Amino acid sequence: MSSNEMTGMTTSSGEALQENRVPIWRLRKAAANYIALIPYLAFALFPFYIIAITSIKSKQEINNLGESPFWASGIAVENYTFLYTNTSFFEHWMVNTLIVTTVSTIISVTVGILAAYALARLKFRGVEMFGVAVFITYLVPQTLLFLPLVDVINLIDDFIPIRDTYWSLILTYPTFLIPFVTWLLMGYFRTIPVEVEECAYLDGCSRLGALFKVVLPMAIPGIICAILFSYTLSWNEFLYSLVFIQDEYAKTLSVGVFTELIRGDIYFWGSLMAACLLGTLPIVILYGFLMDYYTSGLTQGAIK
Amino acid sequence: MVTGTEVGGAASSPPLTLKSRLRRSIGPDLDGYYFILPTVIIVFCLILYPFCLAVYYSMSNAFIGEETHFIGLENFHYIIFEDDIFMMTVRNTLLFAVISVVFKTVLGLLCALLLLRIIKLRRFLRGAMLLPFVAPTALTTLGWWLILDPTYSHINWIFEHVWPFSVLDVGPYNFLGEPTLALGAVIFVNVWRGLPFFIITILAGLVSIPDHLYEAAEIDGASIMDKFWKITLPLLRPVLAVIILFSTIFTLGEFNIIYVLTRGGPMNETHLFATYSFTAGVLNHEIGLGAAIALFLFPILVVTVILLLRLVRRDSQYEL
């Protein structure tokens, strides 16, 4: 990769960005930058391209190993119809994933807003300690928790039947969502001036009233960011879903595709890639509209 | 800060109520506890309690469907002194984390520097580069699985059909079937997935470096390299330290990429703590052993948290 970079830097004669009154050396330099970025772009997009192109190939074409695997001769929809007619992809996995992501996002963002507001604004004993605790839980890897959480789910299952249903995921996803949302929103709430709230209190607002009527409207970018992150993280979750759910009809997308679509025969690639594409698209579309929120959250959550 | 509140119930005017005395010792905002209560309950029941359970399991012979007995440190003794796969796991984890993070840092820095200097298409390029990070890892890794599959491999196809490889007799390789290649492959995919995080956060760090520093350096006749080593890198160091620590902790706990690509194989040669713990605890039903393996992540976690807290706090002091 880095060697490509160097060649990109030196062979700068490429496409000329025609703009008047810009010195030629500057154009060369700009062109060199763009050319140097091509390997990065190719690297980032390569598997998406392969997934997309393979998903529209027929079985015969995929298995014709002499032909270039980088191009499709036509568009075949058989992989997509296969997903619809022969698997639970749309009927169950997609629906389950939507339910789990939506409900756990609502829970996590609501609980996270309350906690973040208290930790960012209110003064009570232990507030610093709670802040640090939230940060630590944010970093606890799922690897440490998935085995004992099976028992917690079984324990709850004695009272409410949640085992092997998506409710077990709705219960456990907030464990990694809430700490992140809280951490993220603490940063946003701190940027809102205290005076605005004081005015609200003078107007007779209660604490909750001030939070909902004054603080939240000002923190909307942060809230959108928190929703977007929760949605993405729970949509992409794999380990808990793999461990907690065995019932084919209760599975989420990632796990359903991974455990049910890989069959013994060698003809599964087309439908597998179609499923990968369809499972990725909703997130990509969502993020296409809200990219700026996402990047600001990424830098906020990580650095500040 | 205003102290008037209705959430707690009683009004706050009389000076000697229990409430006002509590306020004096605990702080003005008693209702803060109500706000964090849901979070505290969830953290206790679904993080702290399971964690304690994991510690207990690691010192027991827990096995699905059998009675659990306390066996002290036997699991740890077995793992450390008798289990060859665990030794391999430790080696893999170190290699995986160090190589991945080094590549992500260097490539991320280079890419961020390039992205900083362009104006047109910047949004598009940034968005495209971020894709690997937002897409579901398990699904995109399935795409890499096809690319690396011994029969269908696109890379092998290039080696076979595209000049100059076709003449040079390179490959075909069984990328996921040979231990070294397989470890290389999972590191490669991990770099692919984690790189966007580095690019975006480093880019944010670069943007915040004030221009006048570079202008002053230019007046003093500094070269591009001088500017990079003497201005960019030192000022970027806090950001780099934080994202390297973040990335390290998430890379060490990686499960999805390994499990989808190799399932720890071939011959258990590419396990990390997460996949080995999963194999022992879920697939082989040895919960005690699985919990003990996963717990090795804990000391690393503690060190990372301590370092991060120092760095993050110092950062916030600068800002406020």
Tell me the per-residue pLDDT of B23-55, one tens digit each, with 9 for 90 and over.
Answer: 777 777 778 888 999 999 999 999 999 999 999
B296 in any annotated domain? yes
Map residue B60 onto helix, strand or coil: strand
Q: How many CA atoms, within 13 angstroms, populate the side-chain half-sphere of residue A267?
A: 7
| Helix/strand/coil for A159 | coil
The yes-or-no verdict on residue B318 having pLDDT over 70 is no
Query: Beta-carbon neighbour count of residue A38 at 10 Å?
Result: 13
B251 is a domain residue? yes
How many Cβ atoms sit within 10 Å of the Cβ of residue A244?
23
DSSP string, A191-203: TS-HHHHHHHHHT
The reply to whether B11 falls in a domain is no
Mean pLDDT of the B201-225 span:
89
Number of domains chain B contains: 1
The range of the structural domain enclosing residue B289 comes to 81-319
Distance CA A254, CA B138 (A): 6
Domains detected in chain A: 1-44 (no CATH), 82-303 (1.10.3720.10)
In a domain, B111, yes or no: yes
What average pLDDT does this structure show over B50-77?
Answer: 86
Segment A204-238, tens digit of pLDDT: 888 888 888 888 888 888 899 999 999 999 999 99
Q: Which residues of B touch A127 (CB under 8 A)?
A: 27, 32
3-state class (DSSP) for residue A119:
helix
> How big is chain A by its Cα radius of gyration, in Å?
25
- ipTM of this complex: 0.86
* CATH number, position B243: 1.10.3720.10
pLDDT at res. A303: 55
Q: Is residue B91 part of a domain?
A: yes
Contact A238 B30 (CB under 8 A): no
Looking at beta carbons, which residues of chain B come within 8 Å of A147? 54, 57, 277, 281-282, 287, 290-291, 294
Of A36, A136, A148, the CB nearest to B57: A148
Q: Which of B115, B242, B291 sits opposite A302 (nearest CB)?
A: B242
Q: What is the pLDDT of residues A46-86, one digit of tens each?
A: 999 999 999 998 888 888 877 788 888 888 888 899 889 98
Distance (Å, whole) CA B135 – CA B189: 13
What is the model's pLDDT at position A116?
93
- Has residue B258 been placed in a domain? yes
User: Which residue type occupies A160?
Assistant: I
* Short-list B311, B211, B266, B205, CA closest to A300: B205
Confidence grade of residue B221 (pLDDT, cut at 50, 70, 90)? confident
A111 and B1 within 8 Å at the Cβ level: the answer is no
Answer whether residue B127 is part of any domain. yes
Question: What 3-state class would DSSP assign to B253?
Answer: coil
Distance in angstroms (rounded) separating the CA atoms of residues B288 and B75: 7
Q: Is residue B157 part of a domain?
A: yes
